Structure 1
Amino acid sequence: MNTQTILALVNQNVGWSTKIALIMILCNILTIAAGRYAIQVRNLGTSISIAGLEEFGVTELLATTSLGHIIGAGTILGLKSTGFLI
């Protein structure tokens, strides 16, 4: 398929707002909380000593926030396509 045809099909009016930022932050926080208990092998890198996460390292934080951004992007696109976010 032609690239210009694909770009013409994509909805281009996705703007950034406070609602979208809050959804992304919430998805990241929930993913970090889930990863805190789901990751079995910890302390592979330097640990983070904030918010009581002494056993939670930088690698775990990067992994959970990466997954949180993927989940957040899917949530935002899903809510936009169903019309819940304007």
Structure 2
Amino acid sequence: MEADFGGENRSTRWQELSFAIVGLGLIGGSYAKALRKLGAKQIIGVERDAATLQEAKQQGIIDIGMANPDVRLKEANVIICAI
């Protein structure tokens, strides 16, 4: 995937980026699924609902799941707030 920003051609190397998604409902879950398809290096999910967090792990759309944000968020290159 390539984008044109200010006349420069830049390609996104999804395999090199780690993402954190806060909120794994309809929007956050959709982001996670799309990022997984793009081959993101790592997807961290933050979700207070234990059942939703467990389902996201079982479906393989997140690599790390947590109910409360902690220091592992520092691993993310991008944090998406979907709450």
Q: TM-score, normalised by structure 1?
A: 0.23
Instruction: Give the greater-gyration-radius structure (CA).
Output: 1
Higher strand proportion, which one? 2
Higher helix proportion, which one? 1
